[in-house]
């Protein structure tokens, strides 16, 4: 029977796994050599409990990356941040900076996990953008269009950050963020402009 992720006990147990994994990562400096056994042992929880929460190490890594990304974003943008050009700029810049830091974790042996971890980041970015779009009281686009808009923008921003993080010497962070914001504003601008105009 699947666990309820909103149950406080489940949250506490998952936090134990995340803390154990973070500690192991500090010691081993790579992802691939950390096993489910290592994580469960460090968290002082048996492996059966781990598998009650996560199907395998890959499922855990996706959860770990999502939570890590959420924490970083919340530090810059609290949950009640309004959907504005400034909020979106902070979000875009945070994604670019996070990608650079994320690359420092990845060793040659960890390449197999890259697509999984990147997908987790993109999914969280999509969720946040869609939440912002749905929070607009006067927006009249159907839900399907909002979902497509959030999908296209999330992949556009994320893909740009991913590409830039592979060679940051080509352009400055400020320059690339400015260009990405120009493109994103064409699609997202109408949503915050209505708010700013008092419509």
Using a cut of 0.95, tell me whether the model's pTM lies above it: no
Digit-coded pLDDT (tens) for 168-187: 888 899 999 999 999 998 88
Digit-coded pLDDT (tens) for 103-138: 777 777 777 788 887 888 889 899 989 988 888 766
Digit-coded pLDDT (tens) for 64-98: 888 888 888 888 888 777 788 888 899 999 999 98
Cα–Cα distance, 196 to 83 (Å, whole number):
10
pLDDT for the residue 195: 44
Angle at 136 between CA 134 and CA 140, to 5 degrees: 85
- Rounded average pLDDT over 150-154: 93
- Rounded average pLDDT over 153-176: 91
For residue 164, pLDDT over 60 is answered with yes
Q: Which two tokens stand for residue 161?
A: 């950050």
pLDDT for the residue 137: 67
For residue 153, pLDDT over 90 is answered with yes
What percent of the chain is helix, strand and coil (3-state, nearest 5)?
Answer: 75, 0, 25
CA quadruple 83, 155, 150, 82: dihedral, nearest 10: -10
Digit-coded pLDDT (tens) for 18-55: 999 999 988 887 888 899 999 999 999 999 999 999 99
pLDDT confidence bin for 16, thresholds 50/70/90: very high
């Amino acid at each position: 029977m699947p666990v309820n992720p909103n149950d406080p006990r489940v949250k506490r147990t998952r936090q134990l796994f995340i803390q154990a994994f973070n500690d192991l990562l500090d010691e081993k400096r790579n992802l691939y050599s950390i096993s489910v056994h290592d994580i469960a042992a460090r968290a002082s929880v048996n492996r059966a409990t781990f598998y009650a929460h996560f199907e395998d190490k890959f499922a855990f890594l996706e959860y770990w990356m999502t939570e890590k990304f959420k924490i970083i974003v919340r530090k810059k943008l609290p949950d009640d941040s309004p959907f504005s050009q400034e909020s979106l700029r902070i979000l875009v810049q945070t994604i670019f900076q996070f990608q650079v830091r994320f690359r420092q974790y990845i060793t040659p042996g960890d390449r197999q996990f890259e697509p999984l971890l990147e997908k987790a980041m993109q999914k969280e970015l999509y969720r946040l953008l869609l939440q912002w779009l749905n929070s607009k009281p006067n927006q009249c686009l159907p839900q399907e269009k909002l979902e497509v808009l959030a999908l296209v923008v999330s992949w556009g921003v994320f893909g740009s950050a991913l590409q830039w993080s592979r060679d940051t010497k080509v352009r400055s962070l400020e320059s690339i963020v400015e260009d990405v914001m120009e493109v994103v504003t064409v699609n997202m601008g109408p949503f915050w402009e209505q708010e700013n105009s008092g419509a």
